Chain A
Amino acid sequence: GQSLEQPSEVTAVEGAIVQINCTYQTSGFYGLSWYQQHDGGAPTFLSYNGLDGLEETGRFSSFLSRSDSYGYLLLQELQMKDSASYFCAVDSSYKLIFGSGTRLLVRP
């Protein structure tokens, strides 16, 4: 089968750094994506890792290790507006398989 695991909830303080982990088990793996979704909104793309290593985009970084079937999203200098749900998603044969999402709550 195909499955992704990520923590259901994470709480952090404004200005801090938080890491959201994602482990996956799937066939036909092409890469790992991360999406952000605010309550009532649509998912928006954050980052994609097709190869092992770190990708950096502003305050957000994402990491992938294919050998460990593991990735993470790192959010730095947290802001209140970062409070949202974060989904990892595996690219697999013309479809995205999403994890159940991690709800991030940023406290002042």
Chain B
Amino acid sequence: KAGVTQTPRYLIKTRGQQVTLSCSPISGHRSVSWYQQTPGQGLQFLFEYFSETQRNKGNFPGRFSGRQFSNSRSEMNVSTLELGDSALYLCASSRDAPVGDTQYFGPGTRLTVL
């Protein structure tokens, strides 16, 4: 069974631009979560989607948004990029709900904002 895939793997953008990251969950998994990982803040929860509905959201500004499609694939968008948005963005999928279920992480997208 294929794992979680994320595209692109690396991205360089400049301040003020916007970016869209993509995540394809493991087949049969309907829950997709997004996390931001930085050396200073660690792994921080962005949002979680299940059956195209956002069920929970972390403490990030409105510039961070996401969506999920009917095939469970998910995208996250960051608008008006800031230098502090440079991070590894990880998505994770699970079968039903992230609570009590194993989350399987993708390799991440390394975003650098110049």
> B: which residues have CB within 8 A of A?
33, 35, 42-45, 48, 50, 55-56, 58, 90, 92, 97-100, 102-108
Contacts and interface: CB of A to CB of B under 8 A. Distances in A.
B90 A42 contact: yes
A96 interface: yes
A50 interface: yes
Interface stretch (A9-17, A18-26, A67-75, A87-95): A87-95
A9 to B, nearest CB: 14
Contacts of A96: 33, 35, 45, 98, 103
Given A87-B43, A92-B99, 19 more contacts: A30-B100, A31-B100, A41-B107, A42-B105, A42-B107, A43-B43, A43-B90, A48-B100, A87-B42, A91-B100, A94-B48, A94-B98, A95-B48, A95-B58, A96-B33, A96-B35, A98-B45, A99-B42, A100-B42
A31 B98 CA distance: 11
Contacts of A100: 42
